[in-house]
Structure 1
Amino acid sequence: MAVKHPELELVRLSNGVRMALDPMPGLGTAALGVWQRVGARWETPEQNGIAHLFEHMAFKGAGHRDARGFAEAIENVGGIVNAATSYERTSYFARVTAEHAPFALDLIADILFAPHWNPDDLEKEKGVVAQERGEAYDVPDDRVFELHQAALYPNQPLGRPVLGEEETLKHVSVETLIAFREAHMSPERVVISIAGAFDRNAVIDAAEARFGGLAAKPERKCATAHAHRGSVSETRKLEQTHLVFSWPGPRAGASSIYAARMLSEIFGGGMSSRLFQEVRETRGLVYAIDSFLDVLEDDGRLEVYAGCSADNARAVAEIVRHELHLLAEKGPTQGELARAKAIARARMLMGIEAPSARADARAGQIFLRDRLIPFEEVQQRMDAVTAEEVQAVARAALQGPACASAIGPKAGHGALGAFHAES
């Protein structure tokens, strides 16, 4: 029977590795994982894609198990394990019943410390990644974001694809992977997080046994993000034009992030948002349109995606630009702000009912703030957002570099000029 402790807790192992413990009474399972502060931002141009390839190699066997034995080990206890890579973090995570949480953490430790890497498997996995790149290229509403990223952060790691390129991965060897791991595996860059049902002492003991021996290393800094004003388009024979527009927003962890989330919701977050009502419901110009925040440690963007016919693209861009200007000039109504707060509250409550989302959120809090934030505090900060603060975020967005991208028929590319046109 798992021992449940009701207190949210940040534990520091003997060497400084941080561990979030987030018990959820009433559950019988745990979501847990290891998050590393490493990703595509730390790659050189010649290494582009290595962080993602490293993650792909995670399941080729580890410890005393080959690939099949590893898969069978987690499934023998009814669990699942997976991994993900982004620009700033790589995560290895599992979902298991409570009593198997220490075992799952041990398996993840094997992935990181005792992987089975051989040249033949590495070459096969390069082929798998090539197929993944091909799939992303074939999906226009994925490809348009990749183009946007490249235009926004030219000649920077953030402007290069997380998946890498065939040319940059061609020369990656097992020795390259080992060197990359050694360069970025250190206590201050590792966070262990677990949410759900678990035995506190057992998971701490498992973490200390496998991660307590990590040695400190000199800090490796990534290049500061420098967003640029820009436009990029790609002509394709498609039924729709896919558009992405963006403006500056708060960085992750900034005090204005709560107001920015309200702005995004009011602007284009749902069916009652200004963009959905004006662009889709009133004018019927799009099938899909929404806004969201994309945040990094040192930068952030307010972004809008829209899919429409080429003939409608210019009008869509003009309306998007106009609606943000209106929010900057007049701010939101009290009704809009109240509705955005209600949506944010419900979305947060829905998210924290899922142990996997909760474990991920806790890892992010540690990386950004070096503390765990009770969800009640998050709620209080959202409730405290004023219309003036939302308006200030909209005004700030219009003062910095805007960026736009388009994929589809050439006739729809005029949206880029319309987006950047002066008011």
Structure 2
Amino acid sequence: MELELVRLPNGVRIALDPMPGLATAALGVWQRVGARWEPAELNGVAHLFEHMAFKGAGARDARQFAEAIENAGANMNAATGYERTAYYARTVAEQAPFALDLIADILFEPHWAPDDLEKEKGVVAQERGEAFDAPDDRVFEQHQSALYKDQPLGRPILGTEAALKNVSVDTLINFRAMHMTPERVVVSIAGAFDRDAIIDTATRRFGGLKARPDPEREAARPQTGHASETRKLEQTHLVFSWPSPPAGSDQLYAARMLSEIFGGGMSSRLFQEVRETRGLVYAIDSATDTLEDDGRLSVYAGCSAQHAHEVAEVVRGQLELMAAKGPTEAELKRAKAVTRSSMLMGLEAPSARAEARVSQLFLRDKLTDFAELRARMDAVTCGQVQAIAAKALEGPACAAAIGPKAGHGALEAFGAK
């Protein structure tokens, strides 16, 4: 078998990625739906919908459903983001069609009892509390809120207590009807599996979905801004960000090279300058975060309050230096080696491959061989990386800080206040 894309007559896509030599598979159903499609009064409904997945489905109650998964030697989970919701499983090859059937039961025949819904709202409240108690998580939420102020993208995926009070079983039913459409569903599997059995199961369970108009969503409108929260902590937690290419952009690999050189590892400029040379932080790193229509180069740093101002100045100064002079050939070569290694590790992981195929289909509506992706990465030049850095400095820039008030001066030093 070879990599294959199957399109059902109604538009549901099935990505089949065989991996010779394996005895297991990773599979799932991904929907193009998430928190950015929620109205403010229902903030958190997409995540709560996903939480209700394991309350029983089809002919099985919650306990029987859990037992069915484990009797098959499988494990199953779900996750919600701003743009996607995933229901996925790992299983031995011969149980893959059965696992797909169980996921379909979750989506089409869920047990949504009002009492269970109220209990799950309580579980989500505990999840929100856990996130609030983790300042290195909370600072990213605050940054997101400032960056996309008064937009769905600026609201928390976990929702708010007030908004979730508005969610009923009928709300979940209507949400599913609006978003469970064939063009927004991808079935993906990687590893060892029976091709025909997977296609037959997917056709039987998803082939009856009816097309309907695509729900509207607001375009991303990133803003210059800042957020701060005073807490009695030992450290100040900082996030800084600038514009970067969106998901699916031809410039994405150049942006990833920039992030790797800038703050991706122990040899990166930020780690060497901010931690090793100046000793200002314990942790500092950078990442590229992408949406369908926006992207950010972000930096996280944890430091003492008295160092926060200097950390912000150095971080911005290092990006300005990158924009002015670009990376060295040695830095780019090292970044490509790290990225290539990460890519190869992903090739050996069925879960990573299954999810990568989903991204390809949602963004470009085709499956891309990993050799082609590597060629795109290898083609990145120092000049392209420099151009991404220069474009980033045009803004809008955004920053967030959590910790002692003395550390909040970093926001002004960064230029986001």
TM-score (norm 2): 0.99
Of 62, 74, 81, which aligns to 2:69? 74
Q: 2:200 aligns with which of 193, 196, 205?
A: 205
Do residues 113 (structure 1) and 90 (structure 2) align?
Answer: no
RMSD: 0.8
The reply to whether residue 150 of structure 1 matches residue 149 of structure 2 is: no
Write the deviation string for residues 293-334 of structure 1: whole angstroms up to 9, x where unpaired: 010000000000000000110110000000000000000000
Match of 2:379 among 384, 402, 407: 384
2:299 partner SS? strand
Write the distance in 2 (CA, Å) between the matches of 1:352 and 1:298: 27
Query: Which residue number in structure 1 is paired with residue 260 of structure 2?
Result: 265
Mapped partners of 1:301, 1:420: distance in 2 = 16
CA distance in 1, matches of 2:173, 2:122: 20
Conserved in 2, the CA contact under 8 Å of 1:274 and 1:323? yes
Structure 1 distance, partners of 2:174, 2:249, is 34
Q: What residue identity is the alignment partner of 2:242?
A: W
- Equivalent position of 2:159 in the other structure: 164
- Aligned: 1:249 with 2:263: no
Matching residue within 283, 286, 297 for 2:281: 286
Q: Letter of the aligned partner of 2:74 in structure 1? A: G
Which residue identity does 1:19 align to in structure 2? I
What secondary structure is seen at the aligned counterpart in 2 of 1:175? helix
Confirm whether residue 125 of structure 1 aligns to residue 97 of structure 2: no
Structure 1 unmatched ranges of 5 or more: none
- Which residue is 1:355 aligned to? 350
Structure-2 separation of matches of 1:76 and 1:163: 31
Displacement after TM superposition at 1:128 (Å):
0.1
Aligned to 1:232: 227
3-state SS, counterpart of residue 159 of structure 2: coil
- Looking at structure 2, the residues matched to 394 and 382 of structure 1 have their Cα atoms a distance apart, in angstroms, of 17
Match of 1:24 among 5, 19, 22: 19
2:99 alignment counterpart: 104
1:43-62, Cα deviation, whole Å (9 max, x unpaired): 00001000000000000000
Aligned: 1:44 with 2:39: yes
Structure 2 CA distance for partners of 1:289 and 1:382, relative to 1, 3 Å: same
Instruction: State how far apart, in whole Å, the 2-side matches of 1:253 and 1:349 are.
Output: 20
Matched residues in 1 for 2:216 and 2:356: separation? Answer: 23
Q: Distance in 1 between matches of 2:128 and 2:86?
A: 20
User: What SS is found at the alignment partner of 2:50?
Assistant: helix
246-255 vs 350-359, greater mean Cα deviation: 350-359
Q: Give the superposition deviation at 1:221.
A: 2.2
**Does structure 1 conserve the Cα–Cα contact (< 8 Å) formed by 2:226 and 2:416?**
no
**CA deviation string 1:359-417 (max 9, x = no partner):** 01100100000001111001000000000000000011011200000000000000000
Cα distance in 2, alignment partners of residues 128 and 220 from structure 1: 29
CA distance in 2, matches of 1:112, 1:100: 19
Determine if the alignment matches structure 1 residue 334 to structure 2 residue 329.
yes
3-state DSSP of counterpart to 2:129:
helix
| Residue 117 (structure 1) shift | 0.3
- 1:185-205 deviation digits (Å, cap 9, x = unpaired): 100000000000000000000
Measured after TM superposition, the shift of residue 284 of structure 1 is 0.8
Listed one character per residue, the Cα deviations across residues 137-179 of structure 1 (whole Å, up to 9, x for unaligned) are: 0000000000000000011000000000000001210000000
Q: Structure 2, unaligned stretches of length 5 or more?
A: none
1:19-53: CA deviation from partner (whole Å, max 9, x where unpaired): 10000000000000000000000000001000000
Please tell me the residue identity of whatever aligns with 1:368. L
Q: Is the 8 A contact 2:27 2:354 kept in 1?
A: yes
CA distance in 1, matches of 2:91, 2:263: 37
Q: Structure 1 CA distance, aligned partners of 2:134 and 2:330?
A: 37
Report the CA distance shift for 1:73/1:318 in structure 2 as closer, same or farther (over 3 A). same
Superposition deviation, residue 105 in structure 1: 0.3
Q: Percent identity?
A: 74
- SS state at 2:393 partner: helix
Match of 2:299 in 1: 304
Is the aligned partner of 1:372 residue 2:371?
A: no
1:409 partnered with 2:408 = no
CA distance in 2, matches of 1:84, 1:219: 22
Q: Aligned to 2:272, which of 269, 274, 277? A: 277
What stretches of structure 1 move > 2 A for 4+ residues in a row? Answer: none
Matched residue count: 417
Q: Which residue of 1 aligns with 2:30?
A: 35
Instruction: Return the offset for 1:349.
Output: 0.5
Cα deviation for residue 77 of structure 1 reads 1.0
Q: What is the alpha-carbon distance in structure 2 between the residues aligned to residue 346 and residue 421 of structure 1?
A: 35
Q: Does the residue aligned with 1:122 lie in a helix, a strand or coil?
A: helix
Query: Per-residue CA shift, 1:196-244, capped at 9, x if unaligned?
Result: 0000000000000000000000111210000000011000000000000
Q: Helix, strand or coil for the counterpart of 1:399?
A: coil
Q: Distance in 2 between matches of 1:391 and 1:361?
A: 27
Q: Contact 1:14–1:208 (CA<8 Å) still a contact in 2?
A: no
TM norm structure 1 = 0.98
Q: CA deviation at 1:64?
A: 0.4
Q: Give the corresponding residue for 1:14.
A: 9
Deviations 1:256-297 (A, max 9, x none): 001000000000000000000000111111000000001000
